[in-house]
Chains A and B, each alone.
Chain A
Amino acid sequence: MFDTALTLADLGFLAKGAAMTLAVTAVSVLAGTVLGVVFGVIRNQAGPYWSMPITFLLDIFRSVPLLIQLVLGNALQSILKLGWAPFTTSCVVLSLYTAAYCTEIVRGGISAVPATTRRAARSLGMTWWQDMRYIVAPLATRVSLPAWIGLTLGVMKDSALVLWLGLIELLRASQILVTRLQEPLFILLICGAIYFIISFPIARLGGYLERRWSND
């Protein structure tokens, strides 16, 4: 009834692509989040005037299409003779892209912690750092989590664009198979299903943490 030329080896090829998607996403989200937290705290602490350079830079990463960033980033690294592999370039650009969004999420999370609560912490003799660590961080994380999960899922799908730098990730692997087997609908269906299988646990993890942290 249903005939396909897709072999087990082809599925393995897709799985390798998915592994590449996961690797690029994991590195970028991790590095982007670390940078985002640092920039977010700076933006919050320094006020809008002093953090203007960071804000401006991050605005660029938020407004220019990711595809253009990847191509320009790749051109820049070759002009500067950095000799980066496509994987490195992809991760660097995608990390900055993630950081740009994450900074806003972190900034919003921190400002959601009431000033009076922080004042109470400082009144108990806590240092700025202790206040950040024990009061602000947990409360801001709870507020920011849904937006951060959304960002992670978004970055994973956007990471498909690194195929333009020659990386064979999930979407590119699917394209290659489509070209060879001429079964676009079936293969794209499988590709979409794999994206879903990767995304679903992340989305559920977010829901689980939200419930766990609701204190009820």
Chain B
Amino acid sequence: MIEIENVRKSFGSLEVLKGINLTVQKGEVLTIIGGSGSGKSTLLTCINGLETIDGGRIVVDGTDVHAKATDLNKLRRKLGIVFQQFNAFPHLTVLENVMLAPVKVLGQSKAEAEAMAVKQLTHVGLGDKLKVYPNRMSGGQQQRMAIARALAMSPAYMLFDEVTSALDPQLVGEVLDTLRMLASEGMTMICVTHEMKFAREVSDRVAFFHKGVMAEIAPPEQLFGAPKDADLQTFLAATH
């Protein structure tokens, strides 16, 4: 369970999170929508401790993320995150990209890590690309590799930060299909996205962020069908 309690975060004088309260249950798929600068991506990087927070707290399975005593490297093993940029390690093959962290961080044997990597890469449809270097692949393939790389750590939660925003339109589908597959398998996911159709299909709940505030949160039928918040109504009208 991820508990977010009254989280505040500022970059200089700009307050990007103004007291966010949110709980994500095991097995839930939560998508976060909202305009740019609404703070939705910042929240994700706060959850895995890449960003500090200025108030409130974030608790993941009982561990306070931003407490001094917390071993962030250990905590991050259970929080997989995939970013907008593909972030492939360009000097390693696809297989090596996925094996690196399990071997170096989890201390798995090469054989163990390779078996896991092959399994995850096959799962995301890259079983025939093992020996290829990332710069030889399309953006969609690189992004799916990044997903497999995160999954190889056997995380309890997956965070997706606008993973299709940097992709050519014809490549968005393959990555969203991968996310749909994970959702159907019961993975706990928080997805920041601009893909409204996707949000409507896969989410248990959808949260709308506006200017650092979570303006509305509801199941997708309700949030898209009968939006209450005025800003959400404007936002949805603009995206259609």
Q: Is A7 an interface residue, CB under 8 A from the partner?
A: no
Q: Is A213 an interface residue, CB under 8 A from the partner?
A: yes
Q: Is A154 an interface residue, CB under 8 A from the partner?
A: no
Give the CA-CA distance A125 to B72 in the complex, in Å. Answer: 8
Q: Is B119 an interface residue, CB under 8 A from the partner?
A: no
What are 13 pairs between A and B in contact, CB < 8 Å? A116-B83, A117-B88, A120-B87, A120-B146, A121-B89, A124-B100, A125-B76, A125-B105, A126-B101, A126-B104, A213-B91, A215-B90, A215-B136
Residues of B within 8 A of A116 (CB): 83, 85, 87
Is A126 in contact with B73, judged by CB distance below 8 angstroms?
Answer: yes
Binding-face segment, A127-135, A157-165, A197-205 = A127-135
Central interface residue in A127, A130, A134, by most chain B CB within 10 Å: A134
Is A125 in contact with B101, judged by CB distance below 8 angstroms?
Answer: yes
Give the CA-CA distance A216 to B88 in the complex, in Å. Answer: 16
Residues of B within 8 A of A114 (CB): 85, 87
Residues of B within 8 A of A215 (CB): 90-91, 133, 135-136
Given contacts A124-B150, A125-B73, contact A134 B81 (CB under 8 A): no
Residues of A within 8 A of B80 (CB): 123
Is A138 in contact with B91, judged by CB distance below 8 angstroms?
Answer: yes
Q: Is B66 an interface residue, CB under 8 A from the partner?
A: no
Residues of A within 8 A of B65 (CB): none
Residues of B within 8 A of A124 (CB): 76, 100-101, 105, 149-150, 153
* Contact among B83, B88, B105, B146 for A126, CB-based, below 8 A: B105
Residues of A within 8 A of B77 (CB): 125
Is B50 in contact with A122, judged by CB distance below 8 angstroms?
Answer: yes
Q: Is A180 an interface residue, CB under 8 A from the partner?
A: no
Give the CA-CA distance A95 to B192 in the complex, in Å. Answer: 51
Q: When A and B form their complex, what is the total count of cross-chain residue pairs whose Cβ atoms lie within 8 Å?
A: 63
Closest B residue to A137 using CB positions: B91
Residues of A within 8 A of B101 (CB): 121, 124-126
Residues of A within 8 A of B76 (CB): 122-125
Give the CA-CA distance A98 to B54 in the complex, in Å. Answer: 44
Q: Is A42 an interface residue, CB under 8 A from the partner?
A: no
* Contact among A123, A134, A139 for B104, CB-based, below 8 A: A134
Give the CA-CA distance A125 to B78 in the complex, in Å. Answer: 9
Instruction: Tell me the A101-146 residues at the B interface (CB within 8 Å).
Output: 114, 116-117, 119-127, 130, 134-135, 138-139, 142
Residues of A within 8 A of B87 (CB): 114, 116-117, 119-120
CB distance from A210 to the nearest CB of B (A): 13
Give the CA-CA distance A213 to B133 in the complex, in Å. Answer: 11
CB distance from B48 to the nearest CB of A (A): 6
CB distance from A93 to the nearest CB of B (A): 35
Instruction: Convert B74-98 into 0s and 1s, putting 1 for each residue whose CB lies closer than 8 angstroms to a CB of A.
Output: 1011011101010111110000000
Given contacts A130-B104, A130-B105, contact A123 B91 (CB under 8 A): no
Residues of B within 8 A of A123 (CB): 48, 50, 76, 79-81, 150
Closest A residue to B85 using CB positions: A116
Give the CA-CA distance A70 to B133 in the complex, in Å. Answer: 47
Is A125 in contact with B153, judged by CB distance below 8 angstroms?
Answer: yes
Give the CA-CA distance A118 to B220 in the complex, in Å. Answer: 35
Give the CA-CA distance A130 to B73 in the complex, in Å. Answer: 11
Residues of B within 8 A of A135 (CB): 89
Give the CA-CA distance A126 to B106 in the complex, in Å. Answer: 10
Instruction: Convert B103-131 into 0s and 1s, putting 1 for each residue whose CB lies closer than 8 angstroms to a CB of A.
Output: 01110000000000000000000000000
